[in-house]
Chain A
């Protein structure tokens, strides 16, 4: 069974005279364990697609099945529970709670599933340590570098053991070195933890880490091809 399955998704915005077709009939399948990069020019509907498959937004028309469940039939709170348990988000702008420590930011998803404080703290500390942020637990976002903030956000996405990570331009605000580090982390999560990853990027260097690249144009999928990851290519070439 596909993890993500969309059937003829439309998202139409009514602003001004002409309605904008942000999504114009998108049908896609993503299987568990895939690592997909979504590319396309600005305004082609990438973020709109991500928000809908992240249950943050609803399509104007069409169906979306997440793990076989039709999300259109769910109410607000059921969607909130799905976001909490099934999806980890990584955003371009990090989206951490301001004036709140890294630790508490990572604890947040567990907070909303009513996990006891002690267990929450233990798991959050583990996740932060795994991302190389030991010693930064009590820093607030404004006391962390961009790369560190994005790693806190990834720790938050991982901490509920969600099977799916959605990342909308996760490296958009980072320099090359930090971008590569984040992408290598994503690759490990996908390979070792079997987490399905869908990420949006403008850069081929970033998309190169994925195993499948989908191109969007004007709200439609214009190409969908497998990709051999950069590293693997190098290894193959060396062999």
Chain B
């Protein structure tokens, strides 16, 4: 029977006697574990943020884009040929009951002026459906109505960034701004949305009725043309069904023959998000793998020091053997010593890794999430490193002939 607590005491003493050396050895593990924890925190943070945005965008969204048309054997890029109309959007809402709301969008960049301030921003022409589909809420005034869309009134709802740049802290509701030199009455202000996943400012935006955009701001290649149609489905389970129905409906409306390609494309936003999340996960793995290399290097450091320690303490091993230490007494003594080194390094590394992640998110503004799993993983990994790299030196020590060990110089 082997006495673990007392063996642990022996190991702690050995570590204490060589403070400097033990510290430097531990440093390898500390850096390894610390960087694994920090890197995993960065990676996990990134995918958490994507998930958060996914839910803030609404998971039940489909996006209809004008698709590639084949003209004279030449395949055109996505969105190159405008084919969608506001009537398509209306038909989708009317004909597919599983659709909760639609929003046709015609957008572009435009110069906006108020008094002597001017600002270049994105102008989105849409229907009141956009407020539902994009989950927009107003903090002042109102949104535009079906009536506004029917009469193509010149009203605008502003995002926070636009408000700040044109009005400062003044109340914009009721004021008149000029979009491409045309006067628009500000009727509402949107609540702040923050940055998008791609780092875009989602508040640098103006919404106007889609008909106004078509007739007065951007113009259209043919009547009723929109750039895309956003579709919000009532239940997430119906996404695929709606996608099929959308395809059928639009093919029928666009009179596409059975052997012809679609002139539009339906994109599932949730799928796109999942792809982004997938790539974040790959990044996490990659970062983790790179950090693991330093953990491995730390482990080799432990092995190195343990080999030195075994050589230095050959006489001690001889004395222990002479008074009755068995093979596993000696092995465990050195394994526990290595394990203590690596676990102490591991714990310090975990603390520093968490600290590092916190600093990273404070300085770089990254979202970092230290998951309990990564802590467990780092702890388990450093234990493994200790046992793995401690075993060989311990094994070597235990096989010494007692008299050779005692006589060692």
Contact = CB atoms under 8 A, between A and B. Distances in A.
Contact of A56 (B1, B316, B402): B402
Nearest to B399: A76
Contact of B320 (A57, A81, A112): A112
B324 A112 contact: yes
Contacts, number: 65
B322 interface: yes
A51 B321 contact: no
B229 to A, nearest CB: 79
Interface string A189-219: 0000000000000000000000000000000
Interface residues of B, number: 23
A57 B17 contact: no
A84 B319 contact: no
Contacts of A111: 3, 6
Contacts of B6: 111, 117
Interface string B183-224: 000000000000000000000000000000000000000000
B315 A95 contact: yes
A84 B322 CA distance: 8
A135 interface: no
Contacts of B324: 80-81, 83-85, 109, 112-113, 160
Contacts of B329: 112
Contacts of A77: 326-327
Nearest to B330: A80
B327 A76 contact: yes
B237 to A, nearest CB: 64
Interface residues of A, number: 28
B1 A80 contact: no
Contacts of B325: 80, 112
A162 to B, nearest CB: 10
A151 interface: no
Interface of B is mostly: helix
A78 B348 CA distance: 41
A66 interface: no
B323 interface: yes
B110 interface: no
A56 B6 CA distance: 25
Interface string B394-409: 0000000111001000
A84 B323 contact: yes
Nearest to B321: A80
Interface in A50-72: 51, 54, 56-57
A57 B323 contact: no
Contacts of A113: 324
A85 B326 CA distance: 13
Contacts of A220: none
A163 B403 CA distance: 21
A91 B6 CA distance: 26
Nearest to A76: B327
A89 interface: yes
Contacts of A108: 319-320, 323
Contacts of B1: 114
Nearest to A81: B324
Interface string B321-343: 11111110100000000000000
Contact of A89 (B2, B323, B326): B323
A67 B320 CA distance: 23
A54 B324 CA distance: 11
Contacts of B320: 97, 108, 112
7 contacts: A57-B401, A83-B321, A95-B406, A96-B319, A98-B316, A99-B13, A114-B3
Interface of A: 51, 54, 56-57, 76-77, 80-81, 83-85, 89, 91, 95-100, 108-109, 111-114, 117, 156, 160
The 10 closest A-B pairs by CB, nearest first: A84-B324, A112-B324, A57-B403, A56-B403, A109-B323, A77-B326, A56-B402, A80-B326, A114-B1, A51-B403
Given A85-B324, A98-B316, A114-B3, 7 more contacts: A76-B326, A80-B327, A89-B322, A99-B17, A109-B323, A112-B325, A114-B1
